[in-house]
């Protein structure tokens, strides 16, 4: 049994006499998580901005226009998105079109797939309201659509945390899993992309990765052919949302190699045959689930495996130190709680050797891959946004770290210390998010930690209340001001202004 009250995996069990035993659907900690999600929903910011224009364009154009013509999306994009894509006369630049005549939309289609149930419901609601005289534009840009999209993103972000919480509590006391979930929720980059920039793909990616990790872990010791296929289908969706998460396929790959090696040492011909069949089922389901990406890329670029990215990868000289610790959106420098989370993956060894090694290997390969990417800093990013996808790994790792503390020190003292550590990192992260969102620190490029620390003490406490009030009462004007500041910074960093 895990520590704390255990959430029922089913609604009813039977005692020895066959009488049903009713169990609570939610534990105390589960109820707190759900309550926090509901209470934070007013933070959701229903706007489509930056990279989100490309992600949202797939959903809107297919729902409203039933094609992949993104012209209206480009024309309605925010100013910083239109810069470099639309000329001063309001015409889309010729270089924006591909050889198939479509606009160059290299963003993934996965977020649109996940948004689609919510946007379809919004569309039906708008059409119904219009028939009753509401006169709401049924164009995919009006408020009901963006609210539906933003709510869906927040929900997927919460589901990523919820699933991660359940994975962590399989191995650690529920209190540790809960505290780790709260820490990653509010002391990482996740809240920015769960609430503030919901049209980006990171919260949805965190959800699909968490789902993949949970199902892989749940079935890894007794996986059937059907379960291999389900895991592959989840993996394909995971790649539909965020391509680099294909690195998570290392989990079933390591597992399969290990099982094959064990079977090879004995009379395991049947086991090897089952492993081959499972692998084929996994590959087939992955390919089928990844078809939406391949088909859309074929339409847009004329080739199934042309994803539209024209970037450089520096495989011989990865910027590992910068990705981890740079003031230019370094993973650990911006979100230092993740240092404890990664350290916890080592502590996980005591509970499960295979799980510890597998998750550490995934993190190491992921870190290496991002370090080789030409835009490893994420350009306009809060922290290293690429790693939001690994939310599940960080929750499990942080729970392992807190469990290690409880074993090293007195449990009550360790719980108090873990709670204090989490609270400090949350306060720091919330202040830094405030600074980033209001441009007290630059959204792009390196920041001054001296200025950031000063602002945390001298500026944030004074300005936060007033700005939060504006966020709830005059959000449109506030977002317009933030956009103007972003454009000003972009122009100041342009090559023409640097000469």
Q: In this predicted structure, what is the pLDDT of residue 5?
A: 39
Q: Which tokens is 119 given?
A: 């946007």
Tell me the β-bridge partners of 14: 20
Q: How far apart are CA 314 and CA 370, in angstroms?
A: 10
Q: How far apart are CA 303 and CA 320, in angstroms?
A: 33
In 373-474, alpha helices (H): 391-408, 411-437, 449-458, 460-473
For residue 134, give the 3-state DSSP assignment. coil
Q: How far apart are CA 274 and CA 224, in angstroms?
A: 9
Secondary structure of the chain: what % helix, strand, coil (to 5)? 70, 0, 30
DSSP letter at 246 equals G
DSSP letter at 417 equals H
Q: In this predicted structure, what is the pLDDT of residue 88?
A: 87
Q: How far apart are CA 143 and CA 122, in angstroms?
A: 10
Q: In this predicted structure, what is the pLDDT of residue 259?
A: 66
Sign of CA dihedral 115, 98, 369, 48: negative
Q: In this predicted structure, what is the pLDDT of residue 498?
A: 45
Q: In this predicted structure, what is the pLDDT of residue 10?
A: 39
Q: In this predicted structure, what is the pLDDT of residue 26?
A: 83
Sign of CA dihedral 111, 114, 118, 120: positive
Distances (CA, A) of 475 to 29, 38, 460: 32, 20, 19
Predicted confidence pLDDT, tens digits, the chain (499 residues) = 344 434 334 333 343 444 444 445 689 999 999 999 999 999 999 999 999 999 999 999 999 999 999 999 999 999 889 998 999 889 999 999 999 999 999 999 999 999 999 999 999 999 999 999 999 999 999 999 999 999 999 999 999 999 999 999 999 999 999 999 999 999 999 999 999 999 999 999 999 999 999 999 999 988 999 999 999 999 999 999 999 999 999 999 988 887 666 656 654 555 555 568 888 999 999 999 999 999 999 999 999 999 999 889 999 999 999 999 999 999 999 999 999 999 999 999 999 999 999 999 999 999 999 999 999 999 999 999 999 999 999 999 999 999 999 999 888 899 999 999 999 999 999 999 999 999 999 989 999 999 999 999 999 999 988 888 888 888 888 888 787 877 777 777 665 544 4
Q: In this predicted structure, what is the pLDDT of residue 234?
A: 98
Is pTM beyond 0.85 here?
Answer: yes
CA 108 to chain centre: 13
* Count of all residues that appear for the chain in the document: 499
Contact at 8 Å (CB) between 169 and 26? Answer: no
For residue 76, give the 3-state DSSP assignment. coil
Q: How far apart are CA 77 and CA 234, in angstroms?
A: 31
Q: How far apart are CA 360 and CA 370, in angstroms?
A: 15
């Amino acid at each position: 049994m895990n520590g704390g009250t255990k959430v029922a995996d089913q609604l009813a069990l039977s005692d020895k006499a066959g009488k049903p035993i009713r169990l609570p659907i939610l534990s105390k900690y589960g109820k707190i998580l759900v309550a926090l999600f509901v209470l934070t929903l007013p933070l959701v910011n229903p706007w489509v901005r930056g990279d989100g224009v490309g992600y949202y364009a797939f959903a809107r154009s297919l729902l409203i226009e039933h094609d992949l013509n993104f012209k209206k999306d480009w024309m309605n994009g925010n100013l910083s998105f239109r810069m470099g894509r639309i000329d001063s006369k309001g015409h889309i630049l010729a270089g924006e079109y591909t050889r198939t005549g479509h606009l160059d939309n290299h963003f993934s289609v996965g977020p649109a797939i996940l948004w689609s149930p919510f946007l379809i419901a919004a569309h039906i609601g708008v059409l119904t309201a219009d028939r009753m005289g509401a006169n709401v534009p049924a164009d995919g840009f009006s408020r009901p659509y963006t609210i539906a999209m933003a709510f869906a993103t927040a929900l997927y972000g919460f589901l990523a945390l919820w699933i991660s919480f359940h994975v962590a509590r399989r191995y650690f006391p529920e209190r540790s899993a809960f505290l780790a979930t709260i820490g990653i929720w509010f002391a990482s980059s996740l809240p920015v992309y769960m609430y503030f920039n919901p049209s980006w793909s990171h919260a949805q990616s965190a959800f699909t990765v968490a789902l993949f990790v949970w199902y892989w872990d749940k079935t890894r010791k007794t996986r059937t052919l059907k379960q291999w296929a389900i895991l592959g289908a989840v993996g394909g969706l995971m790649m539909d949302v965020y391509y680099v998460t294909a690195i998570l396929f290392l989990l079933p790959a390591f597992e399969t190699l290990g099982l094959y090696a064990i079977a090879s040492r004995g009379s395991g011909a049947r086991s090897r045959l089952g492993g081959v069949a499972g692998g084929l089922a996994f590959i087939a389901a992955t390919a089928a689930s990844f078809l939406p990406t391949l088909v859309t890329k074929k339409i847009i670029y004329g080739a199934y495996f042309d994803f539209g990215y024209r970037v450089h990868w520096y495989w011989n000289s990865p910027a590992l130190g910068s990705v981890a610790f740079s003031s230019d959106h370094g993973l650990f420098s911006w979100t230092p709680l993740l240092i404890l989370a990664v350290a916890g993956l080592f502590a996980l060894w005591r509970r499960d050797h295979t799980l510890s090694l597998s998750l550490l290997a995934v993190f190491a390969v992921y870190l290496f891959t991002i370090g080789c990417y030409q835009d490893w800093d994420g350009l306009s990013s809060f922290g290293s946004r690429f790693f939001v996808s690994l939310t599940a790994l960080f929750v499990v790792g942080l729970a392992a770290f807190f469990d290690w503390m409880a074993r090293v020190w007195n449990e009550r003292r360790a719980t108090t210390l873990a709670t204090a550590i989490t609270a400090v990192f949350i306060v720091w992260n919330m202040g830094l998010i405030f600074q980033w969102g209001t441009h007290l620190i630059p959204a792009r490029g390196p920041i001054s930690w001296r200025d950031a620390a000063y602002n945390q003490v001298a500026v944030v406490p004074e300005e936060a209340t007033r700005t939060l009030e504006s966020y709830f009462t005059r959000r449109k004007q506030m977002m317009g001001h933030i956009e103007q500041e972003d454009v000003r910074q972009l122009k100041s960093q342009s090559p023409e202004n640097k000469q």
